[in-house]
Structures are given as structure tokens and as C-alpha cells.
Structure 1
């Protein structure tokens, strides 16, 4: 009989799959190392088990102990599987930008999940780095994993993933491409492959808001490069010890939008359901296509499963809210289709300015059409009201007609977006769309900006 003694014995030996449609413009053989075939559905299973076994061996982790780690979700899952089999408790500290699916999955496998804010400095006591360290110090028999600086992270990929890729390509690999987060995956694989063939090129995929690319090229840790981003699992605002820059030939940066769009393309065009960093890796590979020759063998690593991003990347509403969906917006009706259900907020000429201000606050809007018995008579804008207030502190008690501006232009549903854009200016902040049957909707400059791809 053939069977694994426990789930941990199924880690590794993930398949290498040829990509066809999503990389059609690349003149080389492109193969994906699909790490979602690991039992925890990510590449992190390998290093999670290795870090635990090494800590057991040297006494850092004792029987019945509690494992504490800051994670974007995948390392936590790998640690959870090992903790279940080996009898440890687990506390996962996770940032609030990570998907709900990741948090729910961690809880489902017995981890206690502590959620921290994303948009704080690494040294801030609320950051998931700081909280992880504090919990490890406060928890009896606790062990802080610290995947960023733990050498077992890199070693796991040197011992396992690197040799697998070399053997699966029969030593013919010429380029390796992967998203970089803690650095263990790229550094461990790169070390092994370059020992086998120093000519193999190693490319890291970075994200905007992360320090890796500029630091690799200049040696400068530029804090101006650090800002909040959406892509999960890659990029950092610190320099983990596991990132061995000497083994990496170069970095390419990928936007949040491109990472999300290409994650969906992989599913639709290849039938491979993988996560956010895989989309970034494919877009990065396409940006590097001039580096490849027809006889090259390019391996790209897909870190994790798309099941962890169902509520985000694979949710049309989430994608549309961030302007990531490739919807074609050409007419006025395209600009308003997502909020057609919302009524047009208006104010009458004889109402007080205070009424308009109250409506702006209630509906969180900046422009309101003004009507009288004959139809649209004018408009009010928050900046105009602000100027009126500076000139007259009692303006709130005056009628709207005394402060209103010109009526907004009215366009038809089929009016091209270019024509609508020309009507919005410093002196005119909105346009009305005629829906028919005496119904109207409003288009503001924010609708125009949100339509820009």
C-alpha cells in the first residue's frame, strides 16, 4: 500500500506546468511551478515545516509550546498543519489588508488570529512585526518564528524547491522568476540553481510601495518608496535577512492593478486557479520578455491558491471599486451604471443654504443641482459654499438662489465620455445625464477620474 503517514509527508514534489495562452507573446518555453499542490495550498508549507523541525532540533521549540508568527496567511497555514500533527498551539498575527478567506482558513485549522493595521511603520507597536515579537515574549513556552530572518526559510527552498526545478527541467532552466516577500523562496532556489549553473538568471518581482528594486539597484533604502499597496504576499518595507540580493540578477515592479488582472487571466486562460502574487509574477515575466531567446526555459513560481482571494481578486465588485476591471467605458451611461440605483439629490431655490450643506454631509457628495417649478435652475458646489461662508458667516440662513451657480449641462446616455469630460471644468463641476421620463443622474469629475484605466 502507498500512503503518507501524515499530511506533512505530502509537502513538495509539486508539478511543473507549461503555460500557453497567458504567455503567448513570450518567445521561449515558459513553465509554472504550481505550489498550490502542497497540502496547505502554498509554497510556504515547505519552509514552515523546516523552520519548526530546526527549532525542535536545537531546543528553541519545546513540547507543548506555542508558535507565534506574523504572516500574510500562507506561512500561517503551513505552520498550522505542522502544529496540528506535532501538537503545538499557534498564534498568527496578520495585517488587515489580507483577505478574509486567509483569516477564516487559519481559524479553521485551529490558529488564533490577531489582526493588526497595515498602514503603520514596522517599528510601530501596532505593526504585525512588533505585535508578533511582543506576544512571543509574553507567551509562556512561546517561540517566535520570524520567517523574514529565519535561515531555515531559505534552506528549505535550497534543499527542496531548487532541486525539484533542476530535475524537472533536466537542468535546462535558463531563467527563474518569482515574487519576493520574505526572500526565502527566491534566495534558496537561486543559491541551488546558480551552484548548478552560474549563468541561470534570477529575476525578482516587486510591487510599487516596496523597497526591493531600488535597494538592489542603488544600495539605498529609500523610505520615500514605502507606501500602502494592495498586492498580497510580495514586497516589503523592511530588508529581510533572507533576501540575498547578491543572488538576484534584477527586479521588475508590477502595479496592483496588473497583478490583479493577470491573476484572473491565469485562471481564465490556463485553468490554473492561483493567487495574487502569481498574477504579479506573470506580468513581471511579460515585462521581461525581451530578455528571453527561443531556446530558453523560463520557470515562474506560482505561490498560492486563488481560493484565498475569492472575496477580492475574483470578486467583480471589489475589482470594479478599485478600477481594476477592464470594463470598456465609452459613453455617459457607462460612467453611471454602477450607481444608477441611487436617487439624484437636489435642493430647491428657496431652501436655505444649511439644507444643502446637510444633504452634502448626509450623502457624502460635493455637488447638488438646484431646481424650481420649471426644472433645473442652478447648482451648488461645496467649494462655492465655502467661499460664500468666508464672505458671509450668516450664509447658512440665506436662500439657495442667492448663492447658486449656473445649471449643470445636460447630456444624453449615449454621449461619448470625451464630450462629457470637456464639459467639466473649474467653473463647472458636474454634468447631468437625461435618463428619460423626466429622470436624471449626475456625473462628477470623480466619475471621470475613476474611469481612467
Structure 2
């Protein structure tokens, strides 16, 4: 009978899949190394097991011990599978920008999950680097994995991923393209492939907000390049020891929007349901197309599964909130379509100013139309209310009609965005759009700005 003795024996030997539609502008043969076929659905299964086995061998990880690691989710999943099979406890320290699916999956396989803020310096005691180290020091019989600097990370890909790519392409691979985070995958694969053929070119995919590209090109670690970004799993605000820059021929940076858009394109155009870093990798590959010739064989690695991003890149509302959906917005109705189903918040002329203040606070808005029995007769703006309050502390108990401003102009649903924009100025903070059947909605400067791509 043919069977695996445990789930760890199913790691590796993932397929190479030819890309067709999404790479139609590239003459070379483009093959995707689809790592979601690993049992933990990511490339990180390989190095997670290797790091554990090496730590067991030299005594850093002892029987019944606790494994502690800072992770964007995928390494944690690989560690969790190994911890289950080998009988260890696991604590995963994760940043709050990672998807909820990743956190839920880690908990589902028995890991304790500690969530840390993303937008802090690596040396900040709240960062997931610092918290991981502290927990490892405080926890008895604990081992801190430190995938960023742990050499077993890159060795796993030198021993497994690199040889697989070489054998699957029959030694014809000419380029390897992959997102760079800890650096283990790119460095391990690059070392193996370049030993086999020094002419193989290796390209890293970086993201805006990360230091890799500039450091590779100039040797300068530029802190001004570091800022928060959305793309998961690639880019860093540190220089991990596993990133061997001497093995990397170049980097290209991909925007958060392009990474998200191309993640969805891979599913829709190739039927390959993979994660956010795969979208970045394929967009980066397209940016590099002038480097490829018709006879080349280009291998791009897809790190993980799209199932970990269902609430993010594969969610229209999430994409729309960040301006990542290229939807044509030309009319007043387009501007408010995402919240047109919500009732218009109004205040009546005889209500008290305190009622308007409460509504501004409750609904987190800045402007409210004022109505009476005949319709719209005025407006209330938080700036005007504040100014009035400074002049008269008893204003909260006065009726709205004593402080209200002019009513907002009303436009038809089909009015152009340009015309709506002209109506909003320093003297008029909003516009009402008539949706028919007595329904109205409000358009503010925020709606106009949100429509700018």
C-alpha cells in the first residue's frame, strides 16, 4: 500500500503549471510553481519542518517544548502541522494587518495567536519581532524560531524547492521570480539553480514600504522608505540574514493595488486560486517582460492559497473601500452607490442642537440636512456648530433653526461628477442627490475624494 506515515510526508513535489492568458504579452514559457498544494497550503511548510528538525537535532528544541514564532500566518501553519505530529505547543505572534482567515486557521490547528500592531518600529516592544523574543525568554522550555535569521529556512529551499524546479524543467529554467519576505525561498532556490547554471537570473518582488530594492541597488538602508502597506507576506522593514543579496539579480516593486488586482486575475483568468503575494509576483513578472526572450523558461513561485484572503482581495467591499476596484464613476448616483441603502440622517428645525451633535457623533458624519414639514430648509455642519459653541456655551439647548445654514443644493441622480464637484466649496459642504420616490442621499467631499483613483 502507498500512503504517507503522517501529513508532513506530503510536503513538497508541488506542480509546475503553465500560465496562458495572464502572461499573453510575454513570449517566454512562464511556469508557476504552485505551493498551495502543500498540506498547509503554502511554501512555508517546507522550511517550517526543516527548522524544527534542525532544532531537534542540536537540542534547541526539547521534547514537550513550546515553539514561538513571529509570522505573517503561513510559517505558523507549517509549524502548527509539525507541532501536532511531533507533540509540541505553539505560540504564533502575528501582526494585525494579516487576514482574519489566517488567524482563524492558526487557532483551528491548535496554535495560540498573539496579535500585535503593524505600524510600529521593529525595535518597539509592541512589534511582533519584540513580542516573539520576549515570550520565548519568559516561557519555560521554549524555542524561538526566528525564521528571518534562521539558516535552516534557506537550506530547506536549497535542498527541496530548487532541485524540484531544476528537475521539473529538465534544467531549462532561465529565470526565477518570487516575492521576498524572510528571504529563505529566493536565497535557497537561487543558490541551487545558480550552482547548476550560473546564467539563471533571479528576480525578487518587493512592495512599496519595504527596503529591499533600494538596499540591493545602493547598499543604503533607507528608513524613509519604510511605511505601512497592505500586501501580505513580502517586503520588510528589516534586513533578514536569510536574504542573500549577492544571489539576487534585481528587484521590482509592485503596488498594493496591483498585487490585489492581479491576485483576483489569477483566479479569473487561470483558475489558480492563490494568495496576495502571488498577485504581486505575477504583476512584477509582467513589469520585467523586456528581460525575457522567446526561448526562455521563466518560473514564478506562488506562495500560498487564496482561501486566506477571502475577506480581503476576494471581497468586493474590501477592494472598493481601498479604491482597488476600477469601477467607472461618472454620476452623482455612482458616488453614493456603496451606501445608498442607508437612510439619510436628518434633523428637524425644532429639535435641539444637542440632538444634532448626538447624531454627528453616533453616525460619525460632519454634515446633516435640516428638514421641516415642507422638505429641506437648512443644513448643520460640525465646524459651524463648534464655532457657535465657542461663542455661546448654552447653544446645545437651542433649536436647530437658530443655528442652521443654507440648505444643500439638490441634484438629479444622473448629474455628472464634475458638476457635483463644482457645487461643493468652502461655503457649501455637501450636495443632496434625488434618487426618486422621495428618497434622497447626501454627497460630501469624502465621497468625491474616495472616487479619485
TM-score higher than 0.5 here? yes
Superposition pairs of residues 49-68 of structure 1, within 5 angstroms: 49-68=49-68
1:404 positional shift: 3.3
423 and 290 in structure 1: CA distance in 2 versus 1, 3 angstrom threshold: farther
Question: In structure 1, the residue corresponding to 2:298 is in which secondary structure?
Answer: strand
Distance 1:312 1:90 in 2: 26
Question: In structure 2, the residue corresponding to 1:251 is in which secondary structure?
Answer: strand
Post-superposition Cα deviations, 1:237-293, rounded to whole Å, max 9, x if no partner, equal 211111111222222222222211111111111111111111111111122222222
1:180 positional shift: 0.9
Q: Residue 346 of structure 1 corresponds to which residue in structure 2?
A: 346
Superposition pairs of residues 379-398 of structure 1, within 5 angstroms: 379-398=379-398
Q: Residue 69 of structure 1 corresponds to which residue in structure 2?
A: 69
1:73 positional shift: 1.1
Q: Residue 414 of structure 1 corresponds to which residue in structure 2?
A: 414
- Unaligned segments of structure 2, at least 5 residues: none
1:172 positional shift: 2.1
Superposition pairs of residues 268-417 of structure 1, within 5 angstroms: 268-417=268-417
Superposition pairs of residues 172-251 of structure 1, within 5 angstroms: 172-251=172-251
83 and 423 in structure 1: CA distance in 2 versus 1, 3 angstrom threshold: same
1:413 positional shift: 1.3
Q: Residue 265 of structure 2 corresponds to which residue in structure 1?
A: 265
Question: In structure 2, the residue corresponding to 1:337 is in which secondary structure?
Answer: coil
Q: Residue 42 of structure 2 corresponds to which residue in structure 1?
A: 42
Distance 1:33 1:20 in 2: 14
Post-superposition Cα deviations, 1:349-392, rounded to whole Å, max 9, x if no partner, equal 44443332222112111111223343322322222333344455
Question: In structure 1, the residue corresponding to 2:261 is in which secondary structure?
Answer: helix
Superposition pairs of residues 1-16 of structure 1, within 5 angstroms: 1-16=1-16
Distance 2:213 2:403 in 1: 53
Distance 1:439 1:100 in 2: 37
Q: Residue 120 of structure 1 corresponds to which residue in structure 2?
A: 120
Q: Residue 79 of structure 2 corresponds to which residue in structure 1?
A: 79
Post-superposition Cα deviations, 1:322-358, rounded to whole Å, max 9, x if no partner, equal 2223333222222222212222122234444333222
Q: Residue 89 of structure 1 corresponds to which residue in structure 2?
A: 89
Question: In structure 2, the residue corresponding to 1:135 is in which secondary structure?
Answer: helix
Distance 1:106 1:380 in 2: 48
1:6 positional shift: 2.1
40 and 419 in structure 1: CA distance in 2 versus 1, 3 angstrom threshold: same
Post-superposition Cα deviations, 1:99-133, rounded to whole Å, max 9, x if no partner, equal 22212222222222222222222222222111211
1:153 positional shift: 0.4
Q: Residue 100 of structure 2 corresponds to which residue in structure 1?
A: 100
RMSD: 1.9
1:302 positional shift: 0.2
1:72 positional shift: 1.0
- Unaligned segments of structure 1, at least 5 residues: none
Distance 1:344 1:2 in 2: 65
Q: Residue 424 of structure 2 corresponds to which residue in structure 1?
A: 424
More moved, 395-404 vs 289-298? 395-404
Post-superposition Cα deviations, 1:289-322, rounded to whole Å, max 9, x if no partner, equal 2222222221110000111112222222222222
More moved, 372-381 vs 54-63? 372-381
Distance 2:266 2:231 in 1: 16
Distance 1:452 1:199 in 2: 44
Distance 1:140 1:294 in 2: 57
1:396 positional shift: 3.9
1:234 positional shift: 0.9
Post-superposition Cα deviations, 1:160-202, rounded to whole Å, max 9, x if no partner, equal 1111112222222222111111110111111122222222222
152 and 448 in structure 1: CA distance in 2 versus 1, 3 angstrom threshold: same
296 and 419 in structure 1: CA distance in 2 versus 1, 3 angstrom threshold: farther
TM-score, structure 1 length as denominator?
0.95
Aligned length: 453
Distance 1:214 1:382 in 2: 45
Question: In structure 2, the residue corresponding to 1:290 is in which secondary structure?
Answer: helix
Q: Residue 18 of structure 2 corresponds to which residue in structure 1?
A: 18
1:437 positional shift: 2.5
9 and 422 in structure 1: CA distance in 2 versus 1, 3 angstrom threshold: same
TM-score, structure 2 length as denominator?
0.95
More moved, 28-37 vs 329-338? 329-338
1:231 positional shift: 1.4
Superposition pairs of residues 430-441 of structure 1, within 5 angstroms: 430-441=430-441
Q: Residue 255 of structure 1 corresponds to which residue in structure 2?
A: 255
